[in-house]
Each structure stands twice: as structure tokens, then as C-alpha cells.
Amino acid sequence: MAVGAPASTAALGSEQAKASRPSATGARGAAYIETRLFFGTERPDGGPDVTDRQFMAFIDRNVTPSFPSGLTVQDGRGQWRDSNGTIERERSYELILLYPAAEARVRDPQIERIREAYVTAYAQDSVARLDEPTLADF
């Protein structure tokens, strides 16, 4: 499910709009960072799985205030090997955040607070994070 949309080029100012023109190599867009967070829904402590309603309430409380211009949430199925060597599988969510590369230092602690809040709220072992530089054009 998609929620909102990242800021438009017009909102980013004329410098970013100029940067979104194609370069000599054909690449288009301004420098952005794409951060993906992976949230499991099963609780290692044996509590009930995190529901869609609980997860979206978490997004509203803990993510939207820091990323009001937009974000994307996707349903998923996760798999990993636990500390005992057992393959674990569970329903999961993938949160995609896209922000200008120039904001990376400001965004990093915001993203870490999101991860910590979920681990604490839902007794998780971790929330995986993937950061990739990219080009974005709106």
C-alpha cells in the first residue's frame, strides 16, 4: 500500500529542478537517498503478531511527523536464520523513505529513532535498514 508521495520538484526549489535534467550520460534526477526499513510482525516474546492497524498507527505516530512529504509501505514476507540456526519466516512490512542526499545527516537520527521505537514497542530483535544513493525526478 502506498501512503502519500515524496515532495515534488517544484517544492524542492529551482536548484533541484535544474539538477533533475538529464546529464550527458542520460541519467535524470537529483541526488537522493533511498532508505528501506524491514519490520517483522511476529514477536519473539510470544506475544500476538503486530496487526495492520497497529503498524499503520505506528507509522502515523513515529514516521509521518519526520517524513510528512511522503513514504511508501509495502506488505512482505520475511525470512532469516535465527541464532539457533533455524530458518524463521513471517509476515513483514517494508517502509521506503526517499529524501535529498543533502539531508542524510539530519535524517539518520530520525530513522534510528523509528527503528528503536519499533523494537521497543513490539519486542523485536531488530529492524533491518538498507540505504542506497539514487537519483530521483518528480
pTM summary value: 0.80
Phi, psi of 68 (to 5 degrees): -70, -20
Q: Indicate the pairing of strand 2-4 with strand 30-40.
A: unpaired
Q: Which among 138, 43, 60 has a CA at the least distance from the CA of 95?
A: 60
Per-residue pLDDT of the chain (138 residues; tens, 9 = 90+): 444 433 333 334 444 444 555 555 677 899 999 999 999 999 888 889 999 999 999 999 999 999 999 999 999 999 988 778 889 899 999 999 999 999 999 999 999 999 999 999 999 989 999 999 999 999
| Helix 104-121 and helix 52-62, axial crossing angle in degrees, nearest 10 | 140
pLDDT at 40: 95
pLDDT at 83: 75
Residue range 15-43, pLDDT digits in tens: 444 455 555 567 789 999 999 999 999 98
pLDDT at 32: 97
Residue 117 and residue 114: Cα distance in Å, rounded?
A: 5
State what percent of residues in the chain have pLDDT above 90.
68
